[in-house]
Copies of this chain bind each other. A is one copy, B any other.
Amino acid sequence: MAKGEVSQELIEKLKSIVGEKYCITDKEKLEPYGHDEVTDPHYMKPAQCVVLPANTQEVAACVKACYEADTIMVPRAAGTGLAAGAVAIFGGVIISIERMNKILEIDKENMIVTTEPGVTTAVLQNTVKDAGLFYGGDPCSGDSCFIGGNVATNAGGNRAVKYGVTRDQVLGMEVVTPAGDIVELGGKVRKNATGYSLMHLFIGSEGTLGIITKIYLKLVALPKFSMDLLAVFDNLDDAIALTPKVMNAGITPVCVEFMDNASIKQVEVFLNEKLQHSDIGNYIIVQIAGDNEDLLDEQCEKIDELAREGNALDVLVANPTVIWKSRKAYLEADRARSLVFSMEDIVVPMTEIPGAVSQISRLGEKYNVAMHCAGHCGDGNVHIDILKDDRTQEEWEDMLPKIQQEIYKLVYSLKGRVSGEHGIGFKRAALMAKYTNPVEIEMMKAVKKGLDPKNIMNPGKVVDVTK
């Protein structure tokens, strides 16, 4: 692994590249860069130096300077990650792309947006919407995360059922390699069989193979109509069992989201607003969209019928603003209750969701800990917030691995994986190494060693080649 300590000489060099103002070494100004959205102090580390290059050439020059000084680089987007991927755990220079925040082109004819990586996802969504087009990606943190971070982590989100995850939106990218070379992978082409898809390797590589400096994203026609349905169940199993039924009815919803009763109660406290059936309800939120209102009405009736047959207490056409505010407040609500908590991000085959969630929920009773479940059951990806509450740090550190052990044993027995969308970063590197086939881990290490032989680009994240 390269050096974690940033020399004064390197700092001077970086200042000469980006300008004094954009090379941060002041302790107070460095504070926000010492963590991401993970609130456990284990996954924080004060940064020593952050550079804010203005363009690809400056990124490449900064990377070359670090490379020559044999000093670790940590690429960083908005810092909204949930895996400590953009935290300088092992020291080094944080290269933040926050100033590269311009949408470069909306090519309406080819239905492609070209953007710098530091554009906020919601800004990108709204800008292309104003141009009459639609961007399919939609992570819950869209108001604050950057599109570059979305690509680097292959962010998932709500609409993956219909539109896929971030990977499915990407047509091309420009990257700066660990040695500081600039290369364009893919582009405005919809098919590409020209050698290995390095682009797909970079998507989700969490800044460990290079820095993404430009992105080409697929757009689609803006659907004319959209409808949100809320189905409420008093029984968790019944709620989740609706998912495969909807999917199998020939309907492709935009999303099928789920919140268990504990999550709903927590959100109610956080928003200080009464939520429907919050006393005993578990929510399934189904969004459908399309260009033909009659077809949507038909689908709506079918979902209503399936939900009622499946013991729903109530099925309502929901106000999208209200229902999505509740759904998106899940994370904040838990954080407001217990600053330290662990957010698991399991993914299993869709039909295994009911079994997985009900078994995992029971662990809450077994360990006498608050565990809130919500997520994207339409694609088999569910978040489980395990809350520390007023446990001591020692109690917490003793308990958490035991619960995780039980969760991931179950998840892997169901042919699931550690992370559906939050990624591995530093937080889950050991968990992934523990549960993944060692052959696959060795292959990942071989790729990392091949593309970053100095182990200088965000080392120790995703796979630790030194272990």
Chain B min CB distance to A164 (Å): 8
Q: Complex formed: what's the CA distance from A184 to B435 in Å?
A: 13
A424 CB-CB contact with B under 8 Å? yes
A194 CB-CB contact with B under 8 Å? yes
A217 CB-CB contact with B under 8 Å? no
In the complex, which residues 412-456 of chain A have their Cβ closer than 8 Å to any Cβ of chain B? 415-424, 432, 436-437, 439-441, 443-444, 446-451, 453
- Selecting from A281-289, A318-326, A343-351, A360-368, the interface stretch reads A343-351
| Contact for A191 among B220, B380, B415, B444, CB less than 8 A | B380
Interface contact A440-B205, CB-CB below 8 Å: no
A92 CB-CB contact with B under 8 Å? no
Q: State how many copies of this chain the complex holds.
A: 2
| Contact for A192 among B168, B183, B420, CB less than 8 A | B420
| Contact for A153 among B181, B192, B193, B250, CB less than 8 A | B193
- Selecting from A63-71, A107-115, A116-124, A332-340, the interface stretch reads A107-115
| Contact for A450 among B183, B347, B449, CB less than 8 A | B449
| Contact for A444 among B195, B432, B436, B437, CB less than 8 A | B195
A54 CB-CB contact with B under 8 Å? no
A467 CB-CB contact with B under 8 Å? no
Interface contact A198-B156, CB-CB below 8 Å: no
Chain B min CB distance to A405 (Å): 17
| Contact for A443 among B108, B221, B292, B451, CB less than 8 A | B451
Q: Complex formed: what's the CA distance from A161 to B201 in Å?
A: 23
List of B residues within 8 angstroms of A15 by Cβ? none
A463 CB-CB contact with B under 8 Å? yes
Q: Complex formed: what's the CA distance from A327 to B156 in Å?
A: 38
List of B residues within 8 angstroms of A160 by Cβ? 190-191
Q: Complex formed: what's the CA distance from A379 to B191 in Å?
A: 7
Chain B min CB distance to A54 (Å): 22
Tell which of A194, A381, A418 has the most Cβ of chain B within 10 Å. Answer: A194
Interface contact B291-A250, CB-CB below 8 Å: yes
Query: Chain B residue with minimal CB distance to A221?
Result: B250
A294 CB-CB contact with B under 8 Å? yes
A388 CB-CB contact with B under 8 Å? no
Interface contact B204-A197, CB-CB below 8 Å: yes
In the complex, which residues 142-187 of chain A have their Cβ closer than 8 Å to any Cβ of chain B? 153-154, 156, 160-161, 164-165, 167-168, 177, 181-185, 187
| Contact for A198 among B154, B190, B440, CB less than 8 A | B440
List of B residues within 8 angstroms of A127 by Cβ? none
List of B residues within 8 angstroms of A167 by Cβ? 197, 200
Contact of A193 with B351 at beta-carbon distance under 8 Å, contacts A440-B185, A447-B447 already known: no
Q: Complex formed: what's the CA distance from A184 to B295 in Å?
A: 40
Query: Chain B residue with minimal CB distance to A218?
Result: B164
Interface contact B292-A294, CB-CB below 8 Å: yes
Show the binding face of A for B, using Cβ within 8 Å: 107-112, 153-154, 156, 160-161, 164-165, 167-168, 177, 181-185, 187-198, 200-201, 203-205, 220-222, 244, 247-248, 250-252, 291-292, 294-295, 345, 347-351, 376, 379-381, 415-424, 432, 436-437, 439-441, 443-444, 446-451, 453, 462-463
Apart from A189-B416, A195-B436, A198-B440: 5 A-B pairs, beta carbons within 8 A:
A110-B349, A111-B247, A154-B193, A191-B420, A193-B424
- Complex A-B, nearest 7 residue pairs according to Cβ-Cβ distance, in ascending order: A450-B450, A200-B200, A446-B450, A188-B349, A190-B379, A221-B250, A191-B420
16 contacts between A and B (CB under 8 A): A108-B248, A154-B197, A183-B437, A183-B440, A183-B443, A187-B349, A191-B347, A191-B380, A192-B347, A192-B420, A195-B432, A196-B447, A196-B462, A200-B203, A292-B294, A449-B450
